[in-house]
Amino acid sequence: MDIARWLPLVVWGVIGGGFLASFASLVAWRVPRGQSVLRSSFCPTCGHGLGPIDLVPVMSWLLLRGRCRYCGSAIPPRELVVEALGMVMGVAMTATWGVSPSALFYGCFVFGLLAIALADLERYEVPLAVILALGGVWLAGFLFVRAHGWLVVAPRPLWGLGVMLAASAFGALVTRGRYGGGDWLIGCVMGLFLGPYYALVAWFGANLLALPLAVGWRRRAGAGPFPFGPALAAASTLFALPPVQLFWLHVFPYQF
Ligand SMILES: [Zn+2]
**pLDDT tens, residue by residue, 184-203:** 999 999 999 999 999 999 99
pLDDT at 162 over 90: yes
Distance 143 CA to ligand 1 centre (A): 44
Distance 252 CA to ligand 1 centre (A): 52
pLDDT at 221 over 70: no
Q: At which of 74, 99, 124 does a domain end?
A: 99
* Same-domain status, 197 and 154: yes
- Give the residue among 203, 55, 47, 24 at the shortest CA–CA distance from 121: 24
Per-residue DSSP letter, 117: H
- Give the residue among 77, 104, 76 at the shortest CA–CA distance from 90: 104
- How many helical (H) and strand (E) elements, i.e. helices and strands, does the chain have? 9, 0
Distance 51 CA to ligand 1 centre (A): 12
Q: How high does pLDDT run on average in the chain?
A: 92
* Same-domain status, 153 and 252: yes
* Same-domain status, 91 and 107: no
* Same-domain status, 131 and 251: yes
The tens digit of pLDDT for each residue in 139-154 reads: 999 999 988 888 999 9
* Same-domain status, 92 and 13: yes
Rounded to an integer, the average pLDDT of 219-229 is 82
- In whole angstroms, give the CA distance from residue 141 to residue 152: 9
* Same-domain status, 81 and 108: no
Measured from the Cβ of residue 42, the count of other Cβ atoms closer than 10 Å reads 14
- Give the residue among 60, 59, 35, 37 at the shortest CA–CA distance from 50: 60
- Give the residue among 116, 90, 101 at the shortest CA–CA distance from 14: 90
Distance 87 CA to ligand 1 centre (A): 25
Q: How many domains does the chain have?
A: 2
pLDDT at 1 over 70: no
Measured from the Cβ of residue 179, the count of other Cβ atoms closer than 10 Å reads 21
Helix/strand/coil for 22: helix
Q: State the pTM of this model.
A: 0.93
Distance 147 CA to ligand 1 centre (A): 48
Predicted local confidence at residue 253, as pLDDT: 81
Taking the C-alpha atoms of 208, 213, 215 and 221 in order, what is their torsion angle to the nearest 10 degrees?
-160
**Domain carrying residue 23:** 1-99
* Same-domain status, 58 and 107: no
Please report, rounded to a whole number, the percentage of residues in the chain having pLDDT higher than 90.
70
Q: At which of 33, 65, 99 does a domain end?
A: 99
Predicted local confidence at residue 7, as pLDDT: 84
Higher pLDDT, 114 or 253: 114
* Same-domain status, 13 and 81: yes
* Same-domain status, 87 and 121: no
Distance 40 CA to ligand 1 centre (A): 14
Rounded to an integer, the average pLDDT of 107-119 is 97
Q: At which of 38, 67, 99 does a domain end?
A: 99
Rounded to an integer, the average pLDDT of 46-72 is 90
Distance 22 CA to ligand 1 centre (A): 17
Tell me the HSE value of 120 on the side-chain side, using a 13 A CA sphere. 27
